[in-house]
Amino acid sequence: MVKSLLAEVNISEGRDLELIAGVRAELLKQGDVKLLDENTDKDHNRTVFTYTGAPGAVLEGTMRLAAQAIARIDMTVHKGSHPRMGAVDVVPFVPVGETTIAEALEIARAFGRFLGGLGVPVYYYEEAATRPERRSLVDIRRGEYEALEAKLADPAWTPDEGPRAFVARSGATVTGVRFPLVAFNVNLHTRSLELAKGIVKAVRGATGGFTCVRAMALELPEKQQVQISMNLVDYRKSPIHRVFETIKSEAAARGVAIAGTELVGPLPLDALQQVLEFYLRVEGFSMKQVY
């Protein structure tokens, strides 16, 4: 098994298709990384690029992508329903194959130093966190871009890399190393954000739901729907099917139907196996049957 690395870069642009194409072109111009998924959402005003390659190639591609996005995205005019703090908002690296967490951390920190050198404040999270209160993306991004200037003035929030001063155009970036999470969204046939927030409380770990689920309610104006947007940070402990069935039940109790679901980025095969075994009741199923 070869050493490989997966990156899942979130940029704060989901409407300007020409800009997004330019960022993609920078990522792919050397031909040394494989783009697995590109998810663009107009309501979120966000695009997520997911790709793999040798660790060094992923680092170089991510630097090219980030430099292009920083040059072209202006956070002073950014509006969208998804939480965000910077033009290049979140950059997680996930070790694949024989790549170790320690090796992935070297890549994450090299990227952080690069971005800091471009004049962008950078925070390390998850396995790369420099202190306990910075491990969670939710904690780092609390208050979003609008609160960033005040946060940077607080000594407790001095960036790990880059300037301490507020950079209005680029905002700040969070990067690190994490377990392969599942980004799973459920859209509801209603425009009631309050109703969606009530369902979020039933599934989010912080409010008594599933331990490994981070969730929030978002408006989807273009679809005239609301969304339960989630990260299943450990699908082994909080499987997709259990979370989905809970949302389905909570929505039905409120007289609302599910409009559809979304998987953002790649899905680990064993997470898919859990779903197949639950819904199809397949006996003796093995992922070796998938080709």
Cite the active site residues: 82
Cβ 86 vs Cβ 172: under 8 Å: yes
- Report the alpha-carbon distance of residue 56 to residue 32 in Å, rounded: 10
Q: What is the CA radius of gyration of the chain?
A: 19
> What's the CA angle centered on 184, arms 181 and 185, to 5 degrees?
155
Quick check: helix, strand or coil at residue 63?
helix
- Report the alpha-carbon distance of residue 79 to residue 69 in Å, rounded: 16
- Report the alpha-carbon distance of residue 278 to residue 274 in Å, rounded: 6
Residue ranges of the alpha helices (H) in 145-262?
A: 148-152, 193-203, 240-253
Residues 122, 182, 222, 17: is their CA dihedral positive or negative? positive
Q: Give 3-state DSSP helix, strand, coil % of the chain, rounded to 5.
A: 40, 25, 35
Alpha-carbon dihedral 213, 36, 47, 67, rounded to 10 degrees = 120
Cβ 52 vs Cβ 34: under 8 Å: yes
